[in-house]
Amino acid sequence: MKDFRYALRMLAANPGFTVVAVLALALGIGANTAIFSVIDAVLLRPLPYPNPEQLVWIGNHYSEGALSFTAPLSAVEVIEFRDRQEVFRQVSVIRHANFNLSSESDAERLQGVYVSAPYFDMLGVTPMLGRGFRQEEDRPGANSVVVLNHSLWKRRFGSDRQIVGRGIILDGQSYEVIGVTPEWFGMADTAE
């Protein structure tokens, strides 16, 4: 107890040192907490899907001199890979994109992904409303369909349970809403 009182007296006698010490501790604790939160979310906590250890992301790795990066496979490479491989049960294309959602009153910029048909089946996710994508919807000329993210459905469409079957405009093109993801599903809005 004597040591504790002595330390408090010394800190009170040197306010500049005290401020620096408290700021250094606060920054150190804050930085460690932030880093652990990211590591926990990315590395330690499993993905919220059935059998997350079976999910694999496949891409091309390019390296030339000091430049090194990984890029997603092209559509042609995915089709070739899907048709020739014998290791994976399902292969799905996932390509991040931005969309403009238009309505009569306003427009909104959205982040989303284009995916191919087995996407929801591959993840073991059943849409909360409607259905996921079908194989025939992957073909050129097929109707454009979209599965809405739960938060977008709630915020923009007022949790309208009759949204399935209605049309929306994304980037000037008409899409039929075929489903809404579960609330816990964190992926962006998906279109095909």
Whether pLDDT at 21 is above 50: yes
Same domain, 37 and 98: no
Same domain, 101 and 185: yes
Distance CA 131, CA 134 (A): 9
**Domain presence at residue 125:** yes
The torsion angle over the Cα atoms of residues 52, 56, 57 and 61, rounded to 10 degrees, is 140
Provide the pLDDT for residue 110. 87
What does the pLDDT look like over 155-178, one tens digit per residue? 888 889 999 999 998 988 899 999
Ramachandran assignment for 144, one of left (phi > 0), alpha (psi -120 to 50 degrees), beta (any other): beta
Same domain, 171 and 100: yes
Number of domains in the chain: 2
Provide the pLDDT for residue 192. 43
Provide the pLDDT for residue 87. 82
Distance CA 101, CA 155 (A): 13
Same domain, 171 and 101: yes
Identify which of 144, 125, 109, 134 has the alpha carbon closest to the alpha carbon of residue 187.
125
Same domain, 108 and 172: yes
**Domain presence at residue 84:** no
**Domain presence at residue 83:** no
Same domain, 178 and 105: yes
Same domain, 101 and 29: no
Higher pLDDT, 19 or 82: 19
- The range of the structural domain enclosing residue 10 comes to 2-44
**Domain presence at residue 112:** yes
Same domain, 111 and 186: yes
The answer to whether the CB of 57 falls within 8 A of the CB of 91 is no
| Selection from 68-72, 75-79, 160-164 with the highest mean pLDDT | 160-164
- What is the average per-residue pLDDT within 168-192? 79
**Parallel, antiparallel or unpaired: strands 145-148 and 173-180:** parallel
Same domain, 40 and 106: no
